[in-house]
């Protein structure tokens, strides 16, 4: 069995050096120039391995084709990964990967200077990678395997198939997309131009396997306009937006928070507050695996706001709800062969075939409702979005083999 570990490490080291963190509140697509820089590097690397059909559109989406090497028509498979990394811990910083060979359990000291230690106590997934080569950052940045891990796995697949024409397969489409981390990865994705019958995003965490259940998601914005008054003479007059917003947050049930829920339990997370004596804007993320559960939580927020409004009758409270994405299970369950194909490939290559539902969302969730059924596949990384991020090169190696199996089994 071919070993892709060295190739994966070389590619990953190269790509994480390119700063491609996305940025919130930017109207451009991609939101940062580094993503386009990475796209151009990937375009050249794809051409260097012999792929001729490669393009980057005006929005920074890279599409490529590995031509079929069989005569008969079979479904076209797509593989996707996003080029941006989480913006909260990487902007303007260079990632310096380091490899911890043959991990034998216990703590991994990523950085003594920054006191970054990865442990099975706070990252149980480490217990499943004993004997693996583990890659981390140097401790002062995130690693970026979310989702450059997915990128290098797809690149290894592409290189292998181009170098081994004896491995028969149908047409394969590749997409590297921008701005997933800021919730815009599918905004300008041209499903028709991509032309796949189904696809997989390579964006799952270590041990997740093939996942096709994710949250239904909505965002709530509560705008509060208070009543100004001199603080020395405020009795019976002042309606303080800072206090009003605090009352709303405090009224939310403790059992429905991100830090108190797991599995299939939904939550509301108050995640942004800007407030002064005149106005306040409070934002919240609402998540649930069922549409009914999502609606119930939205309604509960509205009920709390209505009660708080009665307490502050001369203030003005407005609630705006924006639907964000849906649970892809609604689409994927109508196309069970897509999941069965990947599960068999994972089992055949010694990988866990399925895991817990995604307590979040992926590009695949939105793409599935745009007409491209797209479950999510493990990309070998864990604990993303911060200095504790790590990835297993051994696991990534096995995932490359699983993708090879998928494309072969697709023609049977």
Catalytic residues: 84, 180
> Token pair for residue 73?
């028509």
Sequential DSSP letters for 37-96: HHHHHHHHHHHHTT---EEE-TTS-EEEEE---SSS--PPEEEEEE--B-GGGTTT----
The half-sphere exposure of 110 on its side-chain side, counting CA atoms within 13 A, is 25
Only one residue has tokens 């070993």, namely: 3
DSSP 239: B
104 Cβ contact list (under 8 Å, min separation 6)? 130, 131
Mode of pairing for the β-strands spanning 210-211 and 279-288: unpaired
- For residue 88, give the nearest of 144, 157, 23, 1 by alpha carbon: 23
> Token pair for residue 315?
């203030």
The strand ranges marked E within 228-292 are: 267-275, 279-288
Helix (H) or strand (E) holding 241: helix 241-251
Q: What is the CA radius of gyration of the chain?
A: 23
Sequential DSSP letters for 209-224: -EE--B-EEEEEEEEE
DSSP 357: P
CA distance 113 to 110: 9
Q: What residues form DSSP beta bridges with 220? A: 284, 321
CA distance 89 to 142: 6
């Amino acid at each position: 069995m071919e070993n892709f570990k060295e190739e994966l490490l070389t590619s990953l080291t190269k790509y994480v050096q390119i700063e491609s963190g996305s940025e919130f509140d930017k109207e451009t697509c991609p939101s940062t120039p580094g993503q386009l820089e990475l796209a151009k590097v990937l375009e050249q690397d794809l051409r260097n391995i012999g792929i001729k059909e490669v393009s980057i559109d005006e929005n920074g989406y890279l599409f490529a084709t590995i031509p079929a090497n069989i005569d008969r028509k079979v479904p076209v498979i797509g593989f996707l990964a996003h080029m941006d990394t989480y913006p909260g811990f990487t902007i303007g910083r260079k990632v310096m990967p380091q490899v911890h060979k043959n991990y034998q359990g216990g703590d991994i000291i990523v950085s003594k200077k920054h006191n970054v230690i990865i442990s099975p106590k706070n990252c149980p997934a480490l217990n499943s990678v004993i004997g693996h080569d583990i890659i981390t950052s140097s401790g002062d940045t995130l690693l970026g395997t979310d989702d450059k891990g997915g990128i290098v796995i797809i690149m290894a697949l592409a290189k292998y198939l181009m170098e081994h024409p004896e491995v028969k397969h149908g047409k394969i489409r590749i997409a590297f997309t921008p701005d997933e981390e800021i919730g815009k990865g599918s905004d300008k994705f041209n499903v028709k131009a991509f032309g796949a019958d189904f696809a997989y995003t390579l964006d799952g965490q270590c041990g997740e396997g093939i996942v096709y259940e994710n949250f239904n998601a909505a965002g709530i914005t509560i705008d509060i306009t208070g009543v100004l008054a001199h603080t020395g003479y405020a009795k019976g007059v002042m309606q303080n937006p800072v206090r009003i917003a605090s009352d709303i947050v405090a009224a939310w049930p403790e059992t429905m928070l991100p830090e108190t829920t797991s599995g299939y339990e939904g939550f509301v997370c108050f995640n942004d507050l800007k407030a002064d004596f005149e106005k306040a804007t409070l934002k919240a993320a609402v998540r649930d695996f069922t549409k009914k559960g999502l609606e119930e939580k939205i309604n509960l927020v509205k009920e709390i706001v209505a009660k708080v409004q009665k307490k502050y009758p001369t203030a003005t409270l407005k609630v705006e709800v924006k639907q964000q994405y849906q649970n892809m299970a609604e689409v994927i369950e109508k196309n069970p062969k897509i999941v069965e194909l990947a599960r068999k490939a994972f089992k055949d290559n010694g990988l866990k075939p399925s895991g817990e539902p995604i307590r979040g969302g992926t590009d695949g969730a939105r793409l599935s409702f745009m007409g491209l059924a797209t479950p999510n596949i493990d990309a070998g990384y864990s604990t993303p979005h911060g200095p504790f991020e790590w990835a297993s090169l051994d696991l990534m190696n096995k995932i490359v083999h699983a993708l090879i199996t998928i494309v072969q089994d697709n023609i049977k």
